[in-house]
Structure 1
Amino acid sequence: MNNNNNDDILSSGNKGLKKVVVYAVLVALVFVSAMMVVFQVFEYRHDYRDLSAYMREKDDLNAEWGRLLIEQQTFGATAQIGSRAVTQLRMFSPPVAQTVVISLPMTSKQDK
């Protein structure tokens, strides 16, 4: 009977130790899980900040692209006007021999 009591005490002691170890492991796992959540939130915010910067850069580049397209159309229209003037209106630049440069006489106001 004395032997049974010792076995009961040892087995209850082992059960208590096993419970403490299981609880300690569970607490450690909860702590690791919480740290992983914190790390994931940090990564999400960092990636979102990068995404926002890239989206702003994309918007700026799209605006610049639009301005460049307008500039290209403007220069294209100038060339088109010149070609239409030559073909439809038969306009041309005179040769140097037919060009006359007129200079205005200096007035007293221009001397000052």
Structure 2
Amino acid sequence: MKSEQQTSPLSRMTFKKVMVYAALIIAVFISAMMVVFQVFEYRHDYRDLSGYMREKDDLNAEWGRLLIEQQTFGATAQIGTRAVTQLRMFSPPAAQTVVISLPMTPEQKK
């Protein structure tokens, strides 16, 4: 009987060690899987961020072109206003307008 009592605590101790090691191995495996998942999520989010940054740059470039276009149209109106007010320029009436046509060369007639 004494031998049975001595093996029993030893087998319990061995069983506890095996369970602790199994739990640690499972915890390490779960931790490793979570790291893999986090790296995947990071790369996915970084790819989305890069796409949004490219889109932002494209929109900023288009905004700059639109501002230049707006300034161009604004400058044309400002020039016309100054020509009328400061230089007293005007468009002549149709009766005072003369259209001059250049004679056609033989190459243009063909």
Fold shared per TM-score above 0.5: yes
- Give how far 1:55 is off: 1.2
Offset of residue 91 of structure 1: 0.9
What is residue 10 of structure 2 aligned with on the other side? 12
TM-score (normalizing by structure 1): 0.86
**Percent of aligned pairs sharing the same letter:** 75
Corresponding pairs, count? 110
SS of equivalent to 2:90? coil
Letter in 1 for 2:43: R
1:80 to 78, 82, 100: 78
Aligned with 2:53 (options 12, 32, 55)? 55
How far apart, CA to CA, are the structure 2 residues paired with 1:19 and 1:111?
106
The CA deviation at 1:6 is 1.7
Taking only aligned residues, the RMSD between alpha carbons, in angstroms, comes to 1.6
Q: What residue ranges of structure 1 are gaps of 5+ in the alignment?
A: none
What CA deviation, in whole Å up to 9, does each residue of 1:44-82 have, x standing for no partner? 111112111211221121122112111111111011000
Find 1:36's aligned residue among 9, 34, 37.
34
